[in-house]
Structure 1
Amino acid sequence: MYSDKENVNILTALLVGHGVRHAVVCPGSRNSAIVHNLNECPAINCHPVTDERSAAFCALGMCQATGEPVVVCVTSGTALLNVLPAVAEACYQHQPLVVVSADRPAQWIDQLDGQTLPQPGTLGRFVRKAVSLPEPRDGEERWYCNRLVNEALMACRREDGGPVHINVPLSEPLFDYTVESLPRERVISLYAPKAAPVDEAVIRDFEHAERSMVVVGQMAESPVLDAALEQLSAAGYAVLREPLSGNGRTARCLDEAVALVEDDDRYLPDCILYVGDTLVSKRARKYLRKARHARCWEVSPGGEPHDVLMNLTGVIQARPEDVLTQLRERSSHAFRDLWEAARTMGEEHQSRFEPPYSQFLAVKRLEEMSTEDDPRAVFHYANSTAVRLGCLYARHYIHCNRGVNGIEGSLSTAAGYSLVNDGRVYCVIGDLSFFYDQNALWNRNLRGNLRILLLNNGGGGIFYQLDGLQASGACDDLVAGRHRTTAEGICAGNDITYYPAHDATTLEVGLGALTRGHSDRPVVLEVFTRAEQDAALYRKYYELLKGKI
C-alpha cells in the first residue's frame, strides 16, 4: 500500500517512469511518506544513510557508478542544507543527482513552526531545475504536479546532465498508507538529436596549425573517448591529459612532462582544443597560460565558456566525441614528438624512482599489487595529496570529486559507488578527508568490496608542499590541522576490518590483506607517516626529474 499523499504518488510513479532505480533515504517524519513509497516500490532500491551530507555524496557515487539519476531523500529544515556540498560537486561533475526534500506547507514557513525554513531555491545555481510541488486538489493541479516532476527529471539528463531539486510540501496527517497502486502518469520523454558537424573552418584551422594540442580535463569514463584520444596522438596531435579523463598512454606523466619543459617555449601550442573539466596539475595550467596568443577552442556540451587557460577563442557546443572523430591526420608530427619525448623521460624517471617508506610508496605498491590481482577494480582518490599521487602512479581511470575539490564526501562517494557495484572499489584518502567524512562508514549495508587506503601523516600534508607557509606560526595547528587521531576506534565501532602500517614491512603485509584478503565488511589499511618527510620526498621526486640534485 502507498501513501495517501497525491503529490508523493505522482512523484514516485514518475521516478519509476524516468528510470530511477536507486534512492538514498535519510530518517525523518516529514519525509516518511516519500520514504515509505520508495520502499514499497519494487523498481527502486532504497539505501538508508543517517547523515544527510554523507547520504548526498553516497548518491553521487551511485550516479557515477550507474550513469543514471539517483535520488537522495531528506526531511525538512536544515536536512536540506546538508546536501549542498554534494549538490555543488554533482553540478561540476554533471551528475544527475535528484534531491527530494519534504517540506511544511507554505503557510507555515517562517511562522515559528518546528523544523522549517524557506526551502524552494535553497540550492541556488547549483541545480539545473528546482520545483516545489503542489498538494493537488483538482485535475489542473494534478496536471501541474505531473508537469513539474517531468521538467525536473528531464533537466537532470539534459545536455551534459546535472543535479535537480524537487521540494514536496506535505500537510498532516502524514502516516496514512491506504492507496493500493501508483497512478498511471504521463512521462514526458527527452529526445536529443545527434549533433551537427562542427564548422569545417574550425576543424581545418586546428588540423593545420603548426603546434596543435588537445588538452583534456576530468571527464566521465568512456572507452570510446579513450580510443579517440589515443588515435589522435597516433595521428600527430599532442594530447595532454590525466587519469581523471581516462586510460591510455596519453593519460600518463602529465605533471612530469610539464616539469621538464616548463622553461622552454618550444612546447607551447599555437592552437588548443580543450575538452572536459578541470586539470589537477597546477603546473600544466600555469605553463599553458603562457600561450597567450594561441587560439583556444573549448568543446562544451552545454555551451558554457570556461577560460581556464586565459586564451579562449570560442566554444564549440557539442559532445567531445563528435568533434574529436572529425579530426584527420596531421602532415607533421614534430610537435607531438616533442611532447612524447618529454613524456617518455617522465615515465623513465618514474620507473627508476624507488621511494622509501612513505605515502609515495604506499600508493605505488597499491597500484602495482591491485593491477596484478584485479585489473578491473575501480579507484576513488580523495583530493589534495592523494589524487596527485594517483596521477603519478595510476594506469587506469580514477574517480575524484574534483568539481569543487573539497575534502568532504570522498569516502561517502566511494561507499555509494561500492553499494551498486559488485567489483572491488578502492578509496585512497588522506587523514583530514577521512576523519571529516567518517560517517560514510556508519552504514550496515557496506560490503567487503570497499577497500580503503588511509594515508595518515597527522595533518594536511599538502600544506607542507606550499613554499613559504611553514614560516607561519599558524601552519601546524591552525592551517594544516595537526592531530594525533587514528582510525582504529572508528573501525571497531563500525565493524570495519582494520590494519595499521608503520614501516615498509607492515605496509607490504597490510597491502596484501587490503588487495587479497577476504572480508564481508570494508577493510581499512591506515598508513602512518610524517608530513614533513612526505613533503620533502615529493619535492625530491621533481628535483631529481629536473636534474637539480
Structure 2
Amino acid sequence: MIYPKIPLAQTVIQLCEAKGIKHIILSPGSRNAPLTIGFTNNAYFKCYSIVDERCAAFFALGIAQQLQEPTAVVCTSGSALLNYYPAIAEAFYSNIPLVVLSADRPKHLIGVGDGQTINQKNVFENHILYSTNLKLDLKETDGEIEEELPIFKNIENKLENLLGLKQGIQEFNELEINKAINVSVLKQGPVHINIPFDEPLYETVDELYVNPKVIEVDSPFIGIEPSVFDACIESWNASSKKMILVGVNYPNQINEEWLNVLAKDESIVVFTETTSNLHHDSFFPSIDQIIAPLTIEEQQDLQPDILITFGGLIVSKKIKILLRKYKPNQHWHIDKNKANDTFFSLKHHIKSTPNQFFEAFFLKVPNAIKSNYKSTWSSVKAKRIHKHQDYINQIPFSDFVVFNSLLKSIPNNYTLQVSNSSAIRYTQLFSLNNTLKVFCNRGTSGIDGSTSTAIGSAVVNTKPTLLITGDLSFLYDSNALWNNHLPKSFRIIVINNQGGGIFRILPGHKNTENFDTYFETNHNYTAEHLCKMYNFKYECVSNGNELDETLQSFYVKGDQPKLLEVFTPKEVNDEVLLNYFKFIK
C-alpha cells in the first residue's frame, strides 16, 4: 500500500480508520496532499472529490446527517478552510458529527507574508465543539531543528533531545486527534483538527512509521437526577394542560409504545412539524394551520401548564411567538447534551433520551388525567382541515397549489430534503405521506447549502432522494451540481417565482423598485442551462395541468438525475398564502 511519508499524516489517517470515519470529502490542494495521498490509497475509505469547499462541507453534512456518524472534510490551507464555515455552523446547531481536517503551513511561515496562509488556529471557535492545532513533525537536520526550536542551539546531545521531543509531539498529536473525534461522536457535532505540514508534501513510502494509540469513546452515564424526576412527576400530576412540541427528529427514534401513551392522554396535545418525523392520528401537525387564526382568547386557552420539548430547532415562528407571549408554567427539554431556553421559561433540562425518560416517567405517573384540553383542540384541527381543502378548491395556480400537488405525488419511502425559506414553510402546511423521511437544514436556517446537503444525503441512501427548493436557494448553491457522485435516482423540484418570494409575505413595501431589487431580488434565470451542463434531465411547467401530467412520470427510473422547474406567478403567491390564514379562521 502507498502511504504519505509524513508521520503526522499517517497518524491522522490511521486514527480516522480506527474510529470508523469511512466517508472522506476531499477538495483539491497542495498543502493537504499528504492526507489526500493517504486516504485515496486506502481501500477502507470512500473518497469524494469536490472542488468547491462550501459545497464539499454541506455534502459531507448530508452524509453525516443520514448515517449519524462522523464524516470528514479535507482541505488545503488558506481561505479554502473558511468556506467550510456555513456547514460547520449548521452542524453545530443541528448536532451533526462533522470532522474538519485542514492542512496548514508550519508555524514559522504564518504571519510572514507566505502565500495561501491565514490564521487557521481556532478559526471556528464560536461554532465548534472542539478545536485542536496539531504539532509539526520534526526533522533531523540541525538547521531545521534550530529553525523550529531555537532553544536547542546551545544544547549538547541534540539527537537525544530530539528523539524525546519527537515522542512527545507524537503523543500530543495522537491524544488530540483521539479527543477531537471522540467529542464529535459523543456530542454529535463538528470538530476541527488543524494539521501543519512542511514540504516536501508528495513523498510516499510503502510502510507505516507510526502506530498511533486508539482511545475509545468513554460514554458518560445518562440518567435523570432523582430530585428533578420527582419534581416533574409532582407537576405532571397537578396539570391538566400539557403540550409536547417536537422539533427536528430523526425518523424512528421514538418507540411506538410512548407515542401511543401520549396519544391516549386527554390532557396532552402533541404538536409536530414536517421535520419531526413523528406520526399519529391524534397528533397535531401543520402547527401554523392550527394556531395562526386563533383569537386572543383561544391563544390563552391553548397556553399549557407544562411544555415538553425534544428534538432540534423549531420551524414555526408562530408557535414560538405564542409560547413566548403565553408562557407555560414550566418548560422541560429532553436532550443528552443541551437545552435551549427558546420560550424563556425553561425549568428542567432532562439529560436523557426521550425513550429513556418516557420509559422511566410513565411507570411513575398514574393513568391519564381527565381533561378537555386535547378534545378542544382536536375539534379545532378538524375544522381547519376541512377549511384547508375548501380553500385549495377555489384558488388559482400558485405556490400553494404547487405544494399541494407535488407533496401528494411523492412515492412511498422517499427521503425528502426541503430547502429553507418559503419551501419549508409551505411544506409545513400540508399532510405528508407517513413513509417519507423529511430533512431540512434548520440549525441556521440558511439557503446556502440545501442542494449540496441533499446530494450528500442521496449518495448514502438506499432509497431515492427528492429535493424541493426555491429558485434563489437553488441558484445560490448551483455549484452543488458540480459533483461526479450523483445517483441517477436523485430528483430536484425547483419552485421558480423569480425571486425571494418569502419577502412578499413579510411586512414591507412591495412592488417598488427598491423592494424588487434589494429584497425580492427579481431575476429571469432558469435551471435549464445548468441541467445541460451537469447532465440532468430537465423539464418545466407553468400551470396545474402540466404539473400533474409531468409528475406522473417524474419519479420513473431513468439513466440520469432529473430536475423539474415549476414557474409560478409571483404577483399571486403572497396574496394566496396570506388569504389562506384568513379563510381557515
Q: Tell me the TM-score normalized by structure 2.
A: 0.89
Deviations 1:5-64 (A, max 9, x none): 111111101101111110111011111111111111211100111100010000000011
Counterpart of 2:273 in structure 1 is 242
Paired residues for 1:369-448 under 5 Å: 369-370=409-410, 374-393=411-430, 394-395=432-433, 396-448=436-488
SS of alignment partner, residue 333 of structure 2: strand
Question: Unmatched 5+ residue regions in structure 1?
Answer: none
Deviations 1:89-139 (A, max 9, x none): 000100001111111101101111110001011112211111111123422
Do the aligned partners of 2:414 and 2:465 also contact (CA within 8 Å) in 1? yes
Moved more, 10-19 or 174-183: 174-183
- Decide which of 288, 311, 314 is 1:255's aligned counterpart: 288
The Cα RMSD (Å) is 1.8
- Decide which of 149, 157, 168 is 2:185's aligned counterpart: 157
Cα offset, 1:341, TM superposition: 2.1
Question: Matched residues in 2 for 1:446 and 1:173: separation?
Answer: 35
Paired residues for 1:137-536 under 5 Å: 137=138, 138-159=166-187, 161-181=188-208, 183-198=210-225, 199-224=229-254, 228-236=258-266, 237-249=268-280, 250=283, 252-263=285-296, 264=298, 265-292=300-327, 294-304=329-339, 306-325=340-359, 326-327=361-362, 328=365, 329-352=367-390, 353-354=392-393, 355-370=395-410, 374-393=411-430, 394-395=432-433, 396-470=436-510, 473-516=513-556, 518-536=557-575
Structure 1 residues 471 and 499: alpha-carbon distance in aligned structure 2, compared to 1, 3 A threshold: closer
Question: Matched residues in 2 for 1:216 and 1:119: separation?
Answer: 37
Question: Matched residues in 2 for 1:247 and 1:212: separation?
Answer: 18
Cα offset, 1:267, TM superposition: 1.4
Structure 1 residues 336 and 79: alpha-carbon distance in aligned structure 2, compared to 1, 3 A threshold: same
Cα offset, 1:3, TM superposition: 0.2
Question: Unmatched 5+ residue regions in structure 2?
Answer: 139-165
Do the aligned partners of 1:463 and 1:469 also contact (CA within 8 Å) in 2? no
Deviations 1:189-215 (A, max 9, x none): 123255224522213312431211112
Deviations 1:59-89 (A, max 9, x none): 0000111111000111110000000000000
Question: Matched residues in 1 for 2:76 and 2:256: separation?
Answer: 41
Cα offset, 1:507, TM superposition: 1.2
Cα offset, 1:226, TM superposition: 6.2
Do the aligned partners of 2:241 and 2:371 also contact (CA within 8 Å) in 1? no
One-letter identity of the residue aligned with 1:493:
M
Do the aligned partners of 1:207 and 1:330 also contact (CA within 8 Å) in 2? no
Moved more, 429-438 or 536-545: 536-545
Cα offset, 1:227, TM superposition: 5.5
Counterpart of 1:99 in structure 2 is 100
Structure 1 residues 208 and 41: alpha-carbon distance in aligned structure 2, compared to 1, 3 A threshold: farther
Do the aligned partners of 1:461 and 1:480 also contact (CA within 8 Å) in 2? yes
Question: Matched residues in 2 for 1:78 and 1:253: separation?
Answer: 42
Question: Matched residues in 2 for 1:203 and 1:52: separation?
Answer: 49
Counterpart of 2:583 in structure 1 is 544
Question: Matched residues in 2 for 1:192 and 1:462: separation?
Answer: 43
Do the aligned partners of 1:230 and 1:248 also contact (CA within 8 Å) in 2? no
Structure 1 residues 184 and 129: alpha-carbon distance in aligned structure 2, compared to 1, 3 A threshold: same
Question: Matched residues in 2 for 1:141 and 1:262: separation?
Answer: 66
Cα offset, 1:233, TM superposition: 2.3
Do the aligned partners of 1:458 and 1:483 also contact (CA within 8 Å) in 2? yes
Cα offset, 1:534, TM superposition: 1.2
Question: Matched residues in 2 for 1:417 and 1:285: separation?
Answer: 29
Deviations 1:306-340 (A, max 9, x none): 22112222322222222233234422242122222
Moved more, 145-154 or 348-357: 348-357
Question: Matched residues in 2 for 1:225 and 1:245: separation?
Answer: 14
SS of alignment partner, residue 564 of structure 2: strand
Question: Matched residues in 1 for 2:120 and 2:559: separation?
Answer: 40
Moved more, 25-34 or 292-301: 292-301
Counterpart of 2:86 in structure 1 is 85
Moved more, 11-20 or 499-508: 499-508
Question: Matched residues in 2 for 1:114 and 1:267: separation?
Answer: 61
Do the aligned partners of 1:233 and 1:336 also contact (CA within 8 Å) in 2? no
Question: Matched residues in 2 for 1:8 and 1:311: separation?
Answer: 48
Deviations 1:354-377 (A, max 9, x none): 35422222222222121xxx3110
Question: Matched residues in 2 for 1:227 and 1:528: separation?
Answer: 44
Do the aligned partners of 2:304 and 2:329 also contact (CA within 8 Å) in 1? yes
Cα offset, 1:422, TM superposition: 2.8
Cα offset, 1:500, TM superposition: 0.7
Percent identity, aligned pairs only, is 30
Do the aligned partners of 2:53 and 2:80 also contact (CA within 8 Å) in 1? yes
One-letter identity of the residue aligned with 1:318:
S
Do the aligned partners of 2:78 and 2:118 also contact (CA within 8 Å) in 1? yes
Structure 1 residues 182 and 53: alpha-carbon distance in aligned structure 2, compared to 1, 3 A threshold: farther
Deviations 1:238-265 (A, max 9, x none): 1112121113032522111112435311
| Stretches (4+) displaced over 6 A | none
One-letter identity of the residue aligned with 1:452:
I
Counterpart of 1:24 in structure 2 is 25
One-letter identity of the residue aligned with 2:197:
L
